[in-house]
Amino acid sequence: MRGIRFFGLTLALVGLVASACGGTTTPGATTSAAPSQTTVTKDLIIGFTASQTGAQNVTSKRQTDGIQLWVDDVTKVGGIKLKDGTVLMPKVKFYDDESKTDRVQALYTKLINDDKVDFLLSPYSSGLVKAAAVVTEQNGRLMITAGGADDVTMEQGFKGVYQVYAPGSKYLVGAIDLMLKLDPTIKKVAIVNEKDSFSASVVAAANPYAKSKGLDVVVAEGYDTGTTDFNPFINKIQAASPDAIIGGGHFEDGTTFAKQLFEKRVNARFVALLVAPPEPTFKDIGDAAQFITDRYVAKYNSQPSYQSSGGYAAGLVLQKALEDAGSTDPAKIQAALDKIDLMLFYGRVKFSLDAKTHGKQVAHDMVYVQWQKGSDGKLATQIVWPSDAATAPAQLRK
Amino acid sequence: MSLEALLPSAIDGLMLGFVYGLAALGLTLIFGVMKVINLSHGPIIALGMFAVFILFSSFGVNPYLGVVAAALVGLLLGIAIYFVAVDRVIDATELTTLLATFSVNLMIIGVATVIFTTSPRSIDIDLGALRAGNVTILGTHGVAVAVAVLVAAALYGFLFRTRTGKSIRAVANNRAAAELMGIDSRRMLALAFGIGTALAMTSGALLATLFSFTILSGGTYELKSFVIVVLGGLGNPTGALVGGLVIGFLEGVLTVFLPVAWVPVVEYVIFVAVLLLRPAGLLGARA
């Protein structure tokens, strides 16, 4: 069998600069109440939905695990301590949204009106985030989105939705830069992506960017969410003989797409897929990540993914906002979120204050990882871009 | 779009067409014998997928042995569904039997969603591939075609060469006359429903060796089966096989010239056009 080295480049949404700086926010290691103050301990109920079933269940579970890990870590250090002496003990309340938008809308309404949760985090995936955002906005509630990168959602002028992930428009642009740095002779690129809001927003930015770099986009086509047979797309790709393939969508479809590309021995020299290539080993980003990784591995017996880190980071952002606000008053927390400029293990977090794009992530950058064989012959992820954060040089198929 | 994609796309489509034809065969057999439009067809296809998946993932059973097991389970399940939901309304209007099988559909989907959830599953099986230029024929696809052809041939052998098969055809042609000849029509109808269900589960089991799936995946193939059955001729098994190949081929070839998303649109246009212009289908209904 001719050995094709399949370069699944994924977008590990981890903060590249943060890892170098070691700018970890230690959960709970925050403000202490003055000795004279009376300590009042209150539960802080954080509501969200998780896709325990359906198309998003693998990645959504990772996000939920990340959130839960943050809750555990905060609980271990005695909760979130506010300046007035109040100690908040976070607890999660979540339901299975079955990866369906109608379930998300019903369940966020329930979380707000029936369960009366204190704060909301988002479901995983842009489509579900969008559905949840509409409900939280209508109810005048704050929500930190852990798993939604879609630009469009964050350009609706929402007042209370804050995006932790980098916007989708940034996702594949860097992959194109990396590709051209590796081989400036690459001319033809095929773009095949899932037709959901997130992937569409990624491609809406990547396609013109590729053209602006002089690339010829020889295939540009979307596939429906839930597609399992990629052969029609792959036959088109093979006929067009592109040097590179970029696109994908989420875990299930991206994994299947990658598998079928491999089965058909597609000759592209560079493949960059969104989200799907299996979870990056978080340890690659250094000591800051190690802090989370060790706990995550101990608790879940698996390496954290970028979705796990996104969930944990969302918790940290909420924690920081509560500490800065010194209160659970939503208005004060919203003001604190607006002012946040935070460096986490996850990367920099800062939100747009523009009326139209309020809450959109403006500071978070992307890194790209590639599965490479190590000297021991085992596959492992390596950060390959940007170059100043790379743990190994990127490899192209010869 | 380059015509280089035409040959591999046509081959991929045709190969898939055999499995589509097998799925449609189950639907058309039931309609041909008892004039029942089986709306539980899709969930039964999905059950075929899960039968193989559970045997493979939990008990380590070879997926192709799992296909045989799925067929046997399908036969028994179909007979059970017939006696529970169809038998008592078999002489009622077609709308009544339609609703009866739709209720079976809802029950299967409801229970199976609770048990299996809607999470995607897949069976990781690698049988290698034949490669020539742009054409790649995966071993799994080749075996699926072979199994589909074998099953279709066995069905024809059964219907045309065995006494029981001839009895089923007799009941399909004239139930009253068949009963006068001493054929237990109720038994034959139950058996036909069982065979139709076994065919659906077999096609689902084969599809599970090709693509990932969820408990809701059967719906897509149920819709395709309706298009194929109408195209080939309602109740006509040969028509279902030919229709499956035509739809598979069209799916493959059209994607070369059109965005893939347009393919279902073309299929449903064909569906409506056949109903309007040639309601008996390409090969005539109930041959």
Tens digit of pLDDT for each residue in B142-162? 999 999 999 999 999 999 999
- Cβ-count burial A179-207 (b if 16+ within 10 Å, e if not): bbebeeebebbbbbbbebbbbbbbbebbb
Range of the domain at B148: 22-216
Greatest Cα pair distance in chain A: 75
Helices B185-208, B41-59: inter-axial angle, 10-degree rounding = 60
From A53, A195, A239, residue closest to B117, measured CB to CB? A53
A47 near A117, Cβ under 8 Å? yes
Polymer length of chain A: 398
B165 dihedral zone (left: phi>0; alpha: psi -120 to 50; beta):
alpha
Question: How many domains would you assign to chain B?
Answer: 1
Q: Tally DSSP H helices, then E strands, for chain B.
A: 11, 2
Give B44's contacts (C-beta < 8 A, 6+ positions apart).
B26, B74, B77, B78, B108, B197, B200, B201, B204, B218
Three-state SS at A190: strand
Domain presence at residue B38: yes
Domain presence at residue A66: yes
For residue B248, give how far its alpha carbon lies from the nearest alpha carbon of chain A (Å).
12
Beta strand pairing call for A161-163 and A216-223: unpaired
For residue A62, give how far its alpha carbon lies from the nearest alpha carbon of chain B (Å).
15
Rg (CA), chain B: 19
The Cα A238–Cα A150 span in angstroms is: 30
Burial environment of residue A339 by CB neighbours within 10 A (0 to 12, 13 to 18, 19 or more):
middle
> Mean pLDDT across chain B, nearest whole number?
92
Question: By 3-state DSSP, what share of chain B in percent is helix, strand and coil, each rounded to 5?
Answer: 75, 5, 20
Domain presence at residue B282: no
Local structure of residue B84 (DSSP, 8 states): I
Partner-chain contact A232 B8, CB within 8 Å: no
CATH of the domain at A36: 3.40.50.2300
Domain presence at residue A396: no
Residue A396: pLDDT band with limits 50, 70, 90: confident
Are both A82 and A227 inside the same structural domain? no
Residue A379: pLDDT band with limits 50, 70, 90: confident
Q: What ipTM was predicted for this assembly?
A: 0.85
Are both A288 and A275 inside the same structural domain? no
Domain presence at residue B270: no
- pLDDT at position A194 is 94
Domain presence at residue A74: yes
- Provide φ and ψ at A3, rounded to 5°: -85, 105
Domain presence at residue B245: no
pLDDT over 60 at A280, yes or no = no
Partner-chain contact B5 A264, CB within 8 Å: no
Calculate the CA dihedral of residues A197, A200, A206, A207 and round it to 10 degrees. -160
Are both A373 and A266 inside the same structural domain? yes
A161 vs A18, residue with greater confidence: A161
A339 touches chain B (CB under 8 A): no
List helix spans (H) across chain A: 16-21, 57-76, 101-113, 126-138, 173-182, 197-212, 231-240, 251-263, 287-300, 306-325, 330-339
Comparing CA positions, the residue from B128, B137, B116 lying closest to residue B215 is B116
Question: How many domains would you assign to chain A?
Answer: 2
A266 vs A297, residue with greater confidence: A266
B256 touches chain A (CB under 8 A): yes
For residue B173, give how far its alpha carbon lies from the nearest alpha carbon of chain A (Å).
39
B46 touches chain A (CB under 8 A): no
Q: Give the pLDDT confidence of A266-275 residue by residue, as tens digits.
A: 888 888 888 7
Partner-chain contact B260 A232, CB within 8 Å: yes
> Mean pLDDT across chain A, nearest whole number?
83
- Provide the token pair at A239: 């006929």
pLDDT over 90 at A276, yes or no = no
Residues paired with A341 in a beta bridge: A350
Are both A156 and A175 inside the same structural domain? no
- Provide the token pair at A106: 């019903």
- Provide the token pair at B263: 């393919």
From B1, B12, B213, residue closest to A239, measured CB to CB? B1
Are both A105 and A230 inside the same structural domain? no
Residues paired with A40 in a beta bridge: A86
pLDDT over 90 at B63, yes or no = yes
Domain presence at residue A5: no
Partner-chain contact A256 B210, CB within 8 Å: no
Burial environment of residue A290 by CB neighbours within 10 A (0 to 12, 13 to 18, 19 or more):
middle
pLDDT over 90 at B285, yes or no = no
Size of interface A-B (CB pairs under 8 A): 80
Domain presence at residue B118: yes
Partner-chain contact B256 A235, CB within 8 Å: yes
Residue type, B192: A
Are both A253 and A151 inside the same structural domain? no
Chain B residues with CB under 8 Å of A252 CB are 120, 212
Domain presence at residue B258: no
The Cα B117–Cα B110 span in angstroms is: 10
* Chain position carrying tokens 């890892």: A19
Range of the domain at A119: 18-167+282-350
Chain B residues with CB under 8 Å of A235 CB are 5, 8-9, 12, 134, 255-256
Are both A324 and A378 inside the same structural domain? no
- pLDDT at position B242 is 93
Q: Give the pLDDT confidence of A328-375 residue by residue, as tens digits.
A: 899 999 999 999 998 888 888 999 999 999 999 998 877 788 878 788
Q: Which residue of B has its CA nearest to A96?
A: B117
Q: Give the pLDDT confidence of B188-220 residue by residue, as tens digits.
A: 999 999 999 999 999 999 999 999 999 999 999
Domain presence at residue A246: yes
Rg (CA), chain A: 21
A290 touches chain B (CB under 8 A): no
Greatest Cα pair distance in chain B: 62
From B136, B217, B255, residue closest to A232, measured CB to CB? B255
pLDDT over 60 at A112, yes or no = yes
Domain presence at residue B11: no
Domain presence at residue B7: no
Chain B residues with CB under 8 Å of A251 CB are none
